[in-house]
């Protein structure tokens, strides 16, 4: 695939939305590498807010407290060979935000309008200049409605739970497969039924089901769509 330096100077903004465990992060990283783009894991930003709220003793439904917290936060990404690290006010909090507890808390704070408003501005700022792959829940529907290419990545609940389980057991999280599947179902329900920016495919999104596809196949499929787009 052409790198950004030789893709006729046309930098794209690509969005990948979908539920937890569909493979968005791995796919985004590989797709961005193939294109020479940056990638932004927007779920990490919601996790960062959740982590800081917990640390400050702010409840997930305390809008005034969350608003004040967001006003004082500085969330930044630093990429190294292991992937993307989220820094909050200069501390690397990547390890802390990747737990089941933070998954659920991020889902809860993500339903609060004050949090979405704060992160909407930050995400659009990060998207300036394009040449980026953004993954999340509302990238193609709300944050970047004019994105060049929108993907919606999904997989069965069972396979998503197994993937998450394998990921977490590498990190020594003791959650069982049953607990993870239950939490994934609950998060799917929270994320897709909330009033503001619910999880759903954009009308023009290219839908990919990764239940029976490995990561390479998904990325190759996406690259073929990117190539088609660049030829037009
Ligand atoms: O992608 P993730 O599992 O790290 O996301 C954690 C939570 O953040 C998810 O349950 C819902 C929320 N989220 C969101 O509401 N909008 C996004 N663009 C990304 C994540």
Domain count, the chain: 1
Residue 4 lies in a domain: no
Residue 228 lies in a domain: no
Domain containing residue 117: 13-219
Residue 229 lies in a domain: no
Q: Rounded CA gap, 151 and 61, in Å?
A: 31
pLDDT digits (tens, 9 = 90+) for 117-148: 999 999 999 999 999 999 999 999 999 999 99
DSSP string, 199-228: S---TTPEEEE-TT--HHHHHHHHHHHHHH
How long a stretch of residues is the chain?
232
pLDDT digits (tens, 9 = 90+) for 67-99: 999 999 999 999 888 888 999 999 999 999 998
Expressed in angstroms and rounded, the spacing between residue 2 Cα and the centre of ligand 1 is 31
Assign residue 19 the CATH number of its domain: 3.40.50.300
Our answer on whether the CB atom of 135 is closer than 6 Å to any ligand 1 atom is no
Residue 5 lies in a domain: no
Our answer on whether the CB atom of 97 is closer than 6 Å to any ligand 1 atom is no
């Amino acid at each position: 695939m052409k790198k950004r330096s030789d893709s006729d100077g046309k930098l794209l903004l690509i969005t990948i939305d979908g539920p937890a465990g569909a493979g968005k992060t791995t796919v985004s990283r590989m797709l961005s590498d193939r294109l020479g783009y940056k990638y932004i894991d927007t779920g990490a930003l919601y996790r960062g807010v959740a982590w800081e709220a917990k640390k400050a003793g702010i409840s997930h439904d305390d809008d005034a407290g969350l608003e004040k917290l967001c006003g004082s936060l500085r969330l930044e990404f630093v990429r190294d060979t292991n992937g993307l690290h989220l820094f909050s006010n200069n501390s690397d909090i990547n390890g802390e935000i990747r737990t089941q507890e933070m998954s659920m808390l991020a889902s809860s704070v993500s339903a609060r309008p004050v949090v979405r408003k704060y992160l909407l501005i930050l995400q659009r700022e990060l998207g300036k200049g394009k040449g980026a792959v953004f993954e999340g829940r509302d990238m193609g529907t709300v944050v970047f409605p004019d994105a060049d290419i929108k993907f919606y990545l999904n997989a069965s609940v069972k396979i998503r739970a197994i993937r998450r389980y394998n990921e977490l057991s590498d990190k020594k999280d003791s959650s069982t497969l049953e607990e993870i599947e239950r939490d994934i179902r609950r998060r799917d329900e929270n994320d897709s039924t909330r009033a503001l920016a619910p999880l759903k495919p954009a009308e023009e999104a290219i839908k990919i089901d990764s239940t029976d596809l490995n990561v390479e196949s998904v990325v190759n499929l996406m690259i073929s769509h990117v190539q088609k787009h660049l030829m037009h």
